[in-house]
Structure 1
Amino acid sequence: MILLHIESKKKPEIYRKLLLPKNSSFSMLDEIILLSFELDGADYFNIEIVIKDGRASKEKICFSPKNVTDLDTDEELVDEWLRESGDEAVGHVIDNSESFTIRLESIEDLPKNSETPICIAGASNIHTGKMDMINLEEINKLIREVEEADSLLENLEPDYLSLLELTNDLKKLKPWQYLRDDEVVVIHFEDVDYKVFVSVIGAGGEEFGLMIFDLELGYASLAKILYEKNLTSNFFYGLNALTVSFVDREELEQADYQLIKDCGLSYRGKKNWIQFRSYLEGTHPERPNYLEVELLINVVSRMINITEARKYGWEYPQLAAHQYPTFKVQKDSGLQEIYILQIDIPKPTYECYEEISMFEKAKYKKKPKSALQLEYDLFYMPFGVESEETIRTVYPISCMLVERGSNLVIEHEMLKRHQLHKACYGHFYKA
């Protein structure tokens, strides 16, 4: 277990001590911090690593859903970044002014075999700032309830029959006759303030279906498809999306065919068989889970409405780049007013270095110059491997350092656990 001391930066006497299982992700950590400080309704953290391996660090990891270009995977592991006692991070809650120091105190052996985070100590109320007694029992009850709810969702059977029937209704409308793949629409579920982008595939007459992108995790994938001309061959290894595909019978995997059969359904003809996939960056595409199926049911239902609206006269508007027509959806009602969603793409930032002195320049000039030409490369391996650290099959990332003059491989390593590319550069930083 990892023992963390979490302390309010504004009110240092307000703190919590948390025991987290090893291999806990930052997404779990921010959820547990919000629960243990009773910050109901708060959003995710922006997390900056301040001290790593006992030294000041400039590395940053970001979980801000509003910053799509700098969004790290929510499966980054805490113990990959906080590794020595005293290592620190600063977490800023995005939708309010609270900030916390997150400090690794130690790696604990107790309690053994625990898979649930535990709050073992704390002081004061963050809302009042007073030295109130905290109720550890109540905090841990909240944590257990969230963990149990997550576990329950994992075991619920997705309603594939309803999804297949709805998707078959959409197929009969042939939405690709009314919307091109670049005429992307946004469906805004207003009651939960959740947005997805939907692209209809099929106007080209080869592949048919839908691609659905979450605003926070998936927009970077959609933007690459829409605005980058030359996508790399391994683009789909880094895709974050849900897909609905109409394929030939022989294109189905056996499990897909069995699912359709188990639901008492069957289809005839070319491009009539229905297949669903969940894509998550660096992992093998899988059939959607319970929550993803619920989302697909809602999205397919709304796309039937949108296709019918287009069929009977709605025109796709003329828009600038990164603008999309958005259909509001309220609970227990149909589509509401349309507005234009503008996605603000932040300009790239560049790290600045202090200017070196003339004396230092002179010293470097005297040093013998190396003829080495080094090239560092990262690429996904084209096969999946099972890992205990994630419930999905992952594509390993291979890291390679090559001397271009001789094509000699100086260093090579394969990472079994999926990591973002920028996290991998540290493996060869000292090579």
Structure 2
Amino acid sequence: MKNDKQPSHQDLKALYSAAKEFKKAAPWDWMHDSDIFGVKDPISGETGYCCIMGAAGEHYALGVYSGGEGLAGILRMHAGEFVPHDEQVLFVQKCLMASFEDKKYVQKEDLQHIKVLGLRFKGANAWPLFRNYEPGFVPWYLTGKEARFLTHALQQAIEVSLRFKKDPGMLIHSLSGKFFVRAPVKQDESILWKDEWHDPLVPESEDFPPVDKTLLTRMKKAGLRKSGIWEVDSFYVPAPVHEKGKRPYYPYMSLIVDHNSGMILNFQLEERKEFTPKFLEKFVTFFERIKIAPQAFLVKRDEVYDFLEPLATGSGIEIEMVESLPVLEEAQRSMKGFISVKEIR
């Protein structure tokens, strides 16, 4: 079995070759990022949902969005959930991406690969860049397994795009909701590809643990005075944390702001995987310290509502879903100036 910590020379040679052919085909001249199709990984069997970018003449790339979570991220972006240049887009993308960049965006490791392969690139949007995007993490270099799948995806994207050019309706199924997928068929030592139609994969939902009854008991014993309305949200902070030997990650923040005064009441920073088990415990400790609870929580995201609702209901606090949290969003913008990696650590 190949070492998947790093692509082999052969993996990289095939990947750069496929990227060059993809760029030469320039499928963004007739396809848009809304023309989504799937490619099934011959090894893992996972479907990557492919999105060809570049029709606007700004960012030329193939994004291969992984499974149900990746597809959900694309659909959220297409639904207009994020404003242009919203940094939070970075935190919902789960994909492998082959993009074509200016040289200034290419890192030392990329340049070393290009040199070893004897390749040359020159000019704007000419340099291939391959990255793994994972929610909560800094975009990172590909493993061998990822490089091999992205190579297949680039090759199949060329095939699909050339067919699409002749038949723009080929990705539309008579039964709404199905996706066109290129699926591998192994034949001896080679791989053939066939067309299939699949129902969209659904992302796994995050299961929040039931509220510890001792937390509700602590809330009742704390003698809290109820006053005011609090806006509550949680989100990634665009200040990566670097730890030796690990992929840099973005910390996850919970923020509580008084709806009337705009005062920041509390915030917490955790690694995303640590957030769920720690948040409610720290939240209740905060209540106990200040001896005040709100009359109501305002939230704008389903996940925050689902997380807070058991605690709110058990404590007699109203909770309301709203379209936006203008006071909290202003506080969030104001915090960017003083949150640094050093402070996070």
Residue 211 to residue 191, structure 1, CA distance change in 2 (3 Å) = closer
The AA in structure 1 aligned to 2:253 is: S
Select 2:253's aligned residue among 378, 382, 398: 398
Cα deviation digits, residues 50-87 of structure 1 (max 9, x gap): xxxxxxxxxxxxxxxxxxxxxxxxxxxxxxxxxxxxxx
Contact 1:384 1:396 in 2 (8 A): yes
User: 1:161 and 2:16 equivalent?
Assistant: no
The two structures, once aligned, show a CA RMSD in angstroms of 3.4
Q: Identity of counterpart residues, as a percentage?
A: 18
Q: How does 1:14-413 map to 2 (within 5 A)?
A: 152-154=3-5, 157=8, 159-189=11-41, 193-231=45-83, 232-313=86-167, 315-319=169-173, 322-331=177-186, 332-336=190-194, 338-343=195-200, 370-387=226-243, 391-413=246-268
- In the TM superposition, residue 377 of structure 1 has moved relative to its aligned partner by 2.7
- In the TM superposition, residue 313 of structure 1 has moved relative to its aligned partner by 4.5
Distance 1:386 1:281 in 2: 16
Task: Point out which structure has higher relative CO (alpha carbons under 8 A, 6+ apart).
Answer: 2
Residue 318 to residue 190, structure 1, CA distance change in 2 (3 Å) = same
- In the TM superposition, residue 215 of structure 1 has moved relative to its aligned partner by 1.2
Cα deviation digits, residues 87-141 of structure 1 (max 9, x gap): xxxxxxxxxxxxxxxxxxxxxxxxxxxxxxxxxxxxxxxxxxxxxxxxxxxxxxx
Distance 1:279 1:421 in 2: 20
Distance 1:326 1:156 in 2: 26
- In the TM superposition, residue 283 of structure 1 has moved relative to its aligned partner by 0.7
- In the TM superposition, residue 304 of structure 1 has moved relative to its aligned partner by 2.4
Select between 167-176 and 266-275 the one with higher mean Cα deviation.
266-275
- In the TM superposition, residue 406 of structure 1 has moved relative to its aligned partner by 3.4
Length-normalised TM-score, structure 1: 0.54
Distance 1:153 1:311 in 2: 36
Larger fraction in helix: 2
Contact 2:7 2:145 in 1 (8 A): no
- Structure 2 stretches lacking a partner, 5+ long: 211-219, 287-345
Distance 2:22 2:16 in 1: 10
- Structure 1 stretches lacking a partner, 5+ long: 1-148, 354-363
Contact 2:71 2:201 in 1 (8 A): no
Distance 2:49 2:224 in 1: 55
Contact 1:189 1:330 in 2 (8 A): no
- In the TM superposition, residue 292 of structure 1 has moved relative to its aligned partner by 0.8
- In the TM superposition, residue 247 of structure 1 has moved relative to its aligned partner by 1.6
Distance 2:119 2:125 in 1: 15
Select 1:429's aligned residue among 279, 283, 302: 283
- In the TM superposition, residue 322 of structure 1 has moved relative to its aligned partner by 4.1
- In the TM superposition, residue 425 of structure 1 has moved relative to its aligned partner by 3.7
1:414 corresponds to which residue? Answer: 269
The AA in structure 2 aligned to 1:243 is: M
Length-normalised TM-score, structure 2: 0.66
Cα deviation digits, residues 392-422 of structure 1 (max 9, x gap): 111112223333333333333222x233865
Contact 2:82 2:89 in 1 (8 A): no
The AA in structure 2 aligned to 1:287 is: Y
SS in 2 for 1:235: helix
